[in-house]
Amino acid sequence: RVPAGADTIYVSGQLPSPLDPAKPMSEVRSLEEMGDTKAQTISTLGKIRDILATQGFTMSDVVKLSLFIAADPRLGKMDFAGANEGFKTFFGTAETPETVARSTFQVAALVGPYFLIEIEAIAARKPAS
């Protein structure tokens, strides 16, 4: 539930960063440089956390996530278990004990060949008094 009068933020689809934070995306040439679905999920949710923080929100304010997952060519299928493991590093934790409503979709492909996941988020909180 989102309380009446809540401040709401919509975070558009975010993609992961390379495993090496110093490496520009334009120089990535392999899936190994991006990591598996779990690593990419953690990277993407970290970006969402940082975007929310710039607006005074936390991951505890997230009310809905949409996950778009492409098949990992090394597995030949979508790695939902990996995405779920990455998700568990942000939700159902001591810092963010609540889980969040989410939808997961398998997609044919994402914007680039080395992306395995894209995540959108909606967060809401009571306005500051």
Dist. CA 37–CA 53, nearest whole Å: 24
Buried b (16+ CB within 10 A) or exposed e, 64-100: ebebbbbbbeeeeebbeebbebbbeebbeeeebeeeb
> Are 64 and 17 in contact, with CB atoms under 8 Å apart?
no
- E-assigned strands of the chain? 7-14, 62-70, 101-107, 117-125
pLDDT, tens digit, 9 for 90 and up, residues 77-98: 999 999 999 999 999 999 898 8
pLDDT at residue 129 greater than cutoff 80: no
Residues 7-57: tens digit of each pLDDT: 999 999 999 999 999 999 999 999 999 999 999 999 999 999 999 999 999
pLDDT per residue as tens digits for the range 100-116: 999 999 999 999 999 99
Confidence of residue 127 (pLDDT cuts 50, 70, 90): confident
Q: What is the pTM of this model?
A: 0.95
